[in-house]
Amino acid sequence: MSILTAEEARKASSDINTARRQNLLKKISEAITKATEEGDSAVYVGGFKDDVVMEHLRKLGYQVEHHSNQRDGDDYYIKW
């Protein structure tokens, strides 16, 4: 039986998290674009909680809140 080295496991985990964050940021970007085209100044976007993504959005000037409940799961409320 072969087992990953710690270095291989860290790299695999890091790669997965990077891809997940990029997909979430793409989803958020598309939602913001659509909302602004409709004249809105805020949007809810479903997605897993990621502090790195939240901090990135805050650095871009957005107000970001994370909401979570059993029925709907995790959401970001993003306001500009």
Residue 35, pLDDT score: 98
Task: Could you please state the CATH topology (level 3) that the domain comprising 6-79 is classified under.
Answer: Ribosomal Protein S8; Chain: A, domain 1 (3.30.1370)
Global pTM reads 0.84
Q: Residue 53: how many CB atoms within 10 A of its CB?
A: 20
Segment 7-60, tens digit of pLDDT: 999 999 999 999 999 999 999 999 999 999 999 999 999 888 889 999 999 999
Residue pointed to by tokens 């709907």: 72
Segment 66-80, tens digit of pLDDT: 888 877 788 999 999
In a 3-state reduction of DSSP, which class is residue 32? Answer: helix
Residue 69, pLDDT score: 80
